[in-house]
Structure 1
Amino acid sequence: MGSLKALVKKAKKGDGEAFVLLVRQYEDVLYRTASRLLNNDEDVADAMQDTIISAYEKLHTLKNDEYFNTWICKILINRCNSLLKKNKGAAVFHDHLLPAEKNDGYGKLELEDALNSLNDVYRLALILYYIVGLNVKEISEFLKEPEGTIKSRLSRAKSILRTTYYKTEGVMVHER
């Protein structure tokens, strides 16, 4: 399939097949990210379509080919934020994207509740770190925030989840 940098270089020169290969490498991450941020499948599809079209049209603006993943995720998150503002919706975590726990719906609902209880900045940090797969430095550059702030947000989010929810026999249970 070729290295990421080689595919980006080919795509920048107008190779549509190279661009398709690039998008295919990241479409699962893009889909999971959009699904975590948006309310319904139609909005997810719209955001992904807009992201891919925008990325194709603006690929020449990508300065460092190694950061294609970060760059396309930033476009996607901006699209998702635009849709959320337009729809005045709140982020919802969809069941089909949460880790399966013995195929019971209870664990998924509890995890969904736990994640939705987080402040937006904490939830976004977790999504970028665990779903998109960015490291702290990349998140810092992406959000234009100091690395210490990102580390703090990740730590605080995990702490909130640990103190508000505790794990019993493989199921997240909310403390009431």
Structure 2
Amino acid sequence: MAPETEQELEVKLAKKGNHEAFINLIRPLELQMYNIAKAILRHDEDCADALQEAILQAYKSLPSLREASFFKTWLFRILINECNRILRKKSNVVPLHNQEEARHVTPSIDVHIDLREAVYRLEEVSRTIVILHYFRDLPLRQIAEMLDLNEGAVKTRLHRARVTLSEWLANHRERKVNL
């Protein structure tokens, strides 16, 4: 049996109710968490909400974490789920001042909107990888570390996402031309 890492010891202490241990687990991950939230949500207010809610959920759910060594992955998954929840909530709201603008969309903006909509239709992990790589310019190695995947898996998901996006966008343009 391999010796426990410092993180694993902190997780065990935090599971027993040690608040300081939980803070020690979160602090070194705050910047990475913010970068993920910013890449998905784009607005600082939404990022702050997502971080706060994810940390609170992690604290409440800590007893359900089975493997202490998976804390970081588990925490990032909670954060990504929270970011996606915020996105779903926001997608149902169209501000009144934007309704008039939406009627007069130029073709270049329309293509940008189509691409963003298509990206947000991707499966969750693929969507996160595309956003982190193309919208935040993060290298594949860093994305793999953040999501606790190997680099080959990230490359494969990115390739599949590009193919899917290409097909969706080609079909969408064909429909517009045929209308």
TM class by shorter-chain length?
0.5 to 0.7
| Identical-residue share of aligned pairs (%) | 38
Matched, 1:35 2:31: no
Map Cα deviations across residues 105-164 of structure 1 (whole Å, 9 max, x no partner): xxxxxxxxxx96983444412539534523435x9xxxxxxx86x5422345689xxxxx
Q: CA, structure 1 residues 117+58, in 2 after alignment: closer, same or farther (shift >3 Å)?
A: closer
Q: Secondary structure at the match of 2:70?
A: helix
Matched, 1:133 2:140: no
Give 1 or 2: higher strand fraction: 1
1:26 to 29, 45, 48: 29
Normalising by structure 2, we get a TM-score of 0.59
Cα offset, 1:45, TM superposition? 0.4
Alignment of 1:69-148 (within 5 A): 69-88=72-91, 119-120=119-120, 121=122, 122-126=126-130, 127=132, 130-131=142-143, 133-136=146-149
How many residues get paired?
Answer: 126
Give 1 or 2: higher helix fraction: 2
Normalising by structure 1, we get a TM-score of 0.60
Could you tell me which residue of structure 2 aligns to residue 153 of structure 1?
Answer: 157
Q: Secondary structure at the match of 2:147?
A: coil
2:52 to 49, 54, 59: 49
Larger-gyration structure (1/2)? 2
Asked if structure 1 preserves the Cα contact closer than 8 Å seen for 2:76 and 2:146, the reply is no
Q: Which runs of 5+ in 2 are unaligned?
A: 93-114, 134-139, 164-179
Please give the root-mean-square deviation of Cα atoms over the aligned residues, in Å: 3.3
Q: Hey, what's the Cα distance between the residues in 2 that align with 1:81 and 1:44?
A: 11
